[in-house]
Structure 1
Amino acid sequence: MRHFDFTPLYRSTVGFDRLFNHLDSKGGEQNSAYPPYNIERTGENKYRITMAVAGFKESELSIEVKEHSLTVRGEKAAESGDREVLYRGIASRAFERHFQIAEYVIVSSASLEHGLLHIDLLRELPEAAKPRRIEIKAGEGTTPKQIEGESTH
């Protein structure tokens, strides 16, 4: 992947430094395809990450959220030497997958069913971050505008 110069965007944006740094750092990174996953929008402010983790038990998986990073790890317990595997087509190697999550996005739940790990995320905007209407008042020395249909008498 090429390196992009984000300098022109720095001039017209405020507070996006982390985003540009993240894009820069991901430029040369090669991501493993294991385990495969989907990211879906399940509602206006709801998302779900589904990972194929066949063969892993709940106790062999961990999910951690730190700052704006979600990390999913899987590590198989050592198998007993009772059996001899002649062919291994089901991957059982350890993995660590990282996801960057936006501000105000929280992990609401996680479940494991039929070899799929479902991680549900929810964006909860605090009242201070929601859009609000600001009333414009007339300045000193000017008369306030009269709203049509109302009388000042």
Structure 2
Amino acid sequence: MSNMSLTPLFRRSIGFDRFNDLFDYAMQSETPNYPPYNIEKTADNHYRIVVATAGFSEDELSIHLENSVLSISGKPSEDDKDGNIELLHKGIARRAFKLSLRLDEHIEVQNASYEHGLLSIALQRIIPEEKMPRQIPIGTKSAQPLIETQAS
């Protein structure tokens, strides 16, 4: 695999240093593909991650959030194995997994639910008031200065 320089992309951007890491991660050939999952946008600032976890119970799944990294893991219990059953075809993968997703700084996890073998995690983008878009007024030369100095 050849190295690709993304320097031209960063010349006109400020604070987008993590994009390089995201591109590197996306281009890795060992990107996890188990379990299958969807990332859905349900409204303007609402998202949902749906993970297909067929065969797992709620007790065998865990969700952990640390440093804006959402980790979803599953570990099947060993006491489900029945020695009397001989599998002729095993098409349902029921193996341990860990899925990690990086969340944007303003994304918050709202709740999680498990139904019909699908783990759903609701997310919401909550932008603080100081980060909201605002109009910047344009002053004229005759306008009052922003900082008043004391007369000596």
Band of TM-score, shorter chain: 0.7 to 0.9
The alpha-carbon distance between structure 1 residues 131 and 90, as it changes in their structure 2 partners (threshold 3 A), is: same
In the alignment, the residues of structure 2 paired with residue 44 and residue 141 of structure 1 have an alpha-carbon distance, to the nearest angstrom, of 39
Q: What is aligned with 1:125?
A: 127
Matched, 1:140 2:142: yes
- Relative to the length of structure 2, the TM-score reads 0.83
The alpha-carbon distance between structure 1 residues 62 and 27, as it changes in their structure 2 partners (threshold 3 A), is: same
- Structure 1 runs of 4+ with >6 Å offset: none
- Per-residue deviation at 1:33? 2.0
- Greater mean alpha carbon deviation, residues 110-119 or residues 88-97: 88-97
- Per-residue deviation at 1:137? 2.5
- Relative to the length of structure 1, the TM-score reads 0.82
User: Which is greater in Rg?
Assistant: 1
- Per-residue deviation at 1:95? 0.4
Deviation readout 1:105-139 (Å, 9 max, x if unpaired):
11111000011000111001101110011222322
CA contact (8 A) 1:108 1:120 kept: yes
State, as a whole percentage, how many aligned pairs show the same letter.
Answer: 41
Unaligned runs of 5+ in 1: 143-153
The alpha-carbon distance between structure 1 residues 8 and 118, as it changes in their structure 2 partners (threshold 3 A), is: same
- Per-residue deviation at 1:90? 2.1
The alpha-carbon distance between structure 1 residues 135 and 141, as it changes in their structure 2 partners (threshold 3 A), is: closer
In the alignment, the residues of structure 2 paired with residue 45 and residue 141 of structure 1 have an alpha-carbon distance, to the nearest angstrom, of 39
Deviation readout 1:60-104 (Å, 9 max, x if unpaired):
111111222211000011125544332233221100111122120
- Partner amino acid, structure 2, of 1:105: I
Q: What is aligned with 2:110?
A: 108
Q: What is aligned with 2:99?
A: 97
